[in-house]
Chain A
Amino acid sequence: MSKDPFDIFKEGLQDYHPKEIPSWLSWEENAEAIQAALPNPNSKKRRPFWLFLCLLLMGFVGLGSVYLLTSKRSSQEKANTPEVNEHPSSLSLPSTVESSKDQPIEDEATEENISLGSSPLSSPPVLLTLLPDDRVGEKSASISPSSPVETTNFIPTLQPLSVEAPFLLAPTGNIIPVKPWHTSIDLPNTQYWSLHLSGGATIFQPNYVLSSPEQDPASFEEELIGWSAALRMSRVLKSRLSLSTGVEIQRLRYLFKLDESFQVNLFRPNTPDTILINRTRRDTSIIFTDTIPGTRRILARQYNSHFRIAIPLLIGYQLTTPKWTQTLRAGPQFQLYRNSQGYTIIEEEGMVNIGKREAEEVGIILGLQAEYESGIEIAADWMILTQIGIQKSLGKWAYETEAGLSQKPLILYGRIGIGKRF
């Protein structure tokens, strides 16, 4: 195989190290500038904090809801518990029971002892009365309102008698009324309107689409938090489905990792030694170099600013308890966006020249949205609520950077607010 004559360039240059390296490239000359631009390795990203905050919020809401529900149910149980929960001293223990205490416990449930003679669905509730010494797993019970029946059947109280059984025996011997599961969620049987107003944080992932895949897209992306607010009107139907629409506003501003080193030499006329117009933001690295006498050089980063107004059309499914409402919603949304960009550059090498370019673009694209909402009633028809959701743009934002990047952003949000039923 013949060798390409131009391989001499490969052999000669692929590991080329110049014999002399200028002193201005030494570490001492450049360390400060490099380290100033590096992110602090000890600083944590904001996203975990944001997620942590949302999870914490949801945890509070969830726990609060569980507490409210259980406390209400307990109070209902107390009110409904018949007097037979107290061990009546007047009850006497049949002799047949006493004699049966020493018998071995049969740990099995038979059809006979589970049903207690008839199906709870087809017969009126049976009042089960216990005698003072009744304990879990022991035999004997009396049944009313029919004439007391002495039975030697074993009653396995730790197993459900049946799903619809009206009572269970507690280990203490108390009788606990059991509410059938399908009535433990009190669904409103009416249709109603609700209005929600909420606000909170939003996190924006640009998701660059590279028209020329020159670099790992991740290296361009920098998520930033903005704010978000929503006003939403919902119509809840009997079927627990709901239809929602409204207006959502989001404002985000982020900086490019790419092109972070626009060099700007700035000075004021007549006072060339007093310069510095800092166009960077608080989280932007500033590197000072000194190549042009009488001027100071700063590195300014390009920024993008986004403002979005979205109109969602969402369909939801709602689970409602007396105090706690949970809703899952999803659907399309129409996004009206305005992107603006600004940066400052030096236009001509060696010339102190301020160049400022700004661009602004407005457009409409379609997106998808999914959301989980949890609300707790704090007063009649009023609730506080939390919303966690995700929005994905279906189309590319028309905006395209000089590097051939456009965006298909992914937006996460967490909001708290209030709701009112009508």
Chain B
Amino acid sequence: MITNNIIKACLEGKPSAQKVLYAHFLGYLYGICRRFSIKEQEIKDLMQEIYIEIFSSLSKFDPDKGDIKYWIKSIAIHKILNYQRKKGLEWVDRASLPESTSYLPSVNEKYDAEYLLQLISFLPDGYRTVFNLSVVDGYSHKEIGQLLNISESSSRSQLSRAKKLLQEKLLSMKT
């Protein structure tokens, strides 16, 4: 649990408090990086950037506006998107989209998180990013459009294609 005292100590630059905050969110942030399929050898530097941003702008965090976890998540996502923008996202042409699929995952089925990650990792970069932002992180298409500098309709179509690809992948794994 990150208390106000820990935040205050972090603002004062105390390493012991920074270590507590770092360790508390390490697994969570590492999970987000993996969800966006950041390569292992680049995660370290990206994680450093994320933590530097967190500690630098901690004074802007307002506990009344929500849990620090979601504030930290938004910083991480912005950093990851910046990183991807530099690298260049792989946006898939509409012509190469799959046709249709008949399989939908059952809501009652339990999937292992590693298995889900593996499924997502098969998606092209652009699809995966939109899928993550929309389905997992709950961003609207308008917000995604602003974040990725694409139109809302592009975001919708990318999500739709991502879902179709995932359905295909799930179907192929079932059979």
Contacts and interface: CB of A to CB of B under 8 A. Distances in A.
Nearest to B23: A27
B15 A10 contact: no
Counting chain A CB atoms within 10 Å of each CB, the highest count among B81, B107, B138 belongs to B107
B18 A13 contact: no
A33 B55 CA distance: 13
12 contacts: A5-B106, A6-B163, A9-B136, A12-B116, A13-B117, A13-B136, A16-B32, A41-B13, A212-B148, A260-B52, A263-B45, A403-B82
Interface in A206-232: 211-216, 218-219
Contacts of B78: 214-215
Interface stretch (A18-26, A78-86, A188-196, A311-319): A18-26
Contacts of A121: none
A35 B44 contact: no
A305 interface: no
Contact of B12 (A10, A15, A41, A219): A41
A18 B53 CA distance: 22
Nearest to A291: B41
A12 B117 CA distance: 9
B97 interface: no
Contact of B146 (A7, A14, A213): A213
Contacts of A287: 48
B23 A10 contact: no
Contact of A31 (B19, B111, B116, B149): B19
A41 B117 contact: no
A6 B165 CA distance: 12
A270 to B, nearest CB: 27
A40 interface: yes
Q: Chain A interface: which size bin?
A: 35 or more
A404 interface: yes
B66 interface: no
A13 B148 CA distance: 21
Contacts of A258: 82
B89 interface: no
Contacts of A351: none
A33 B47 CA distance: 11
A13 B134 CA distance: 12
A380 interface: no
B19 A5 contact: no
Given A10-B136, A35-B18, A25 B30 contact: yes
B6 interface: no
A261 B51 contact: no
A33 B48 contact: yes
Interface in B105-156: 105-107, 109, 111-113, 116-117, 120, 131, 135-138, 146-149
A379 interface: no
A13 B147 contact: no
